């Protein structure tokens, strides 16, 4: 079951934290999250799962930034979110999908207990100009059945900004 927008509102600052929060961004069954102006791009053309691949920072200027196909842009939400007993999920907005923009590639799910900013795996089908501050995705909350383990050693938990892959830590 997914929480309704009104239920998200009811649980705000209790089992759900979204900062900043604005009622205007509430949907019938989700809450819209916006794009921060910071992006990370990998410098290497060929990435290595075993390595901490080099990255460079890009700032989306007020006049916008043109994204190019074939490049992975790691972005982040403006909002810090935290869940206590629900499973958070992010998904794109249809209006961005209709412009050929994806905000994640294969990882919409967060862990129950996740705290931090969401890293967005942004890519596009054709060149497209993007702007910071735009509501680019939405967060949903699923109920969780059964007891759960605490999410203590998450590589990305408690982050303060965009997180490039830390898969190399597993080797």
Ligand X SMILES: Nc1ccn([C@H]2C[C@H](O)[C@@H](COP(=O)(O)OP(=O)(O)OP(=O)(O)O)O2)c(=O)n1
Provide the annotated active-site residues.
Answer: 121
CB of 30 to ligand X, least distance (A): 15
Distance CA 170, CA 59 (A): 30
Q: Smallest gap, in angstroms, from Cβ of residue 93 to ligand X?
A: 14
- Binding of residue 114 to ligand X (CB under 6 A): yes
Q: Is 75 in the site for ligand X (CB under 6 A)?
A: no
- 36 binding ligand X? (CB under 6 A): no
Residue 118 lies near ligand X (rule: CB under 6 A): yes
- Strand stretches in the chain, DSSP E: 16-19, 31-34, 38-42, 55-59, 65-67, 73-83, 86-92, 101-102, 115-124, 128-130, 135-143
Closest-CA residue to 82 (of 17, 11, 162):
17
Q: Closest CB to ligand X among 27 and 102?
A: 102
Between 94 and 153, name the residue whose CB sits nearer to ligand X: 153
């Amino acid at each position: 079951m997914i929480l309704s927008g009104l239920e998200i509102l009811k649980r705000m600052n209790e089992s759900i934290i979204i900062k900043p929060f604005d009622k205007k961004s509430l949907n019938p069954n989700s809450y819209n999250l916006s794009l921060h102006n910071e992006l990370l791009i990998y410098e290497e053309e060929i990435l290595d799962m075993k390595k901490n691949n080099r990255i460079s920072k890009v700032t989306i200027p007020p006049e916008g930034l043109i994204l190019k196909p074939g490049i992975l842009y790691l972005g982040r939400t403006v909002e810090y979110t935290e869940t206590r007993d629900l499973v958070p999920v992010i998904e794109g907005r249809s209006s961005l999908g209709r412009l050929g923009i994806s905000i994640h590639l294969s990882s919409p799910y967060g862990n129950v207990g996740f705290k931090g900013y969401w890293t967005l795996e942004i890519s596009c089908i054709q060149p497209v100009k993007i702007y910071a501050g735009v509501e680019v995705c939405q967060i949903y909350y699923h109920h969780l059945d059964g007891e759960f383990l605490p999410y203590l050693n998450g590589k990305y938990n408690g982050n303060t900004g965009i997180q490039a892959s830390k898969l190399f830590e597993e080797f």
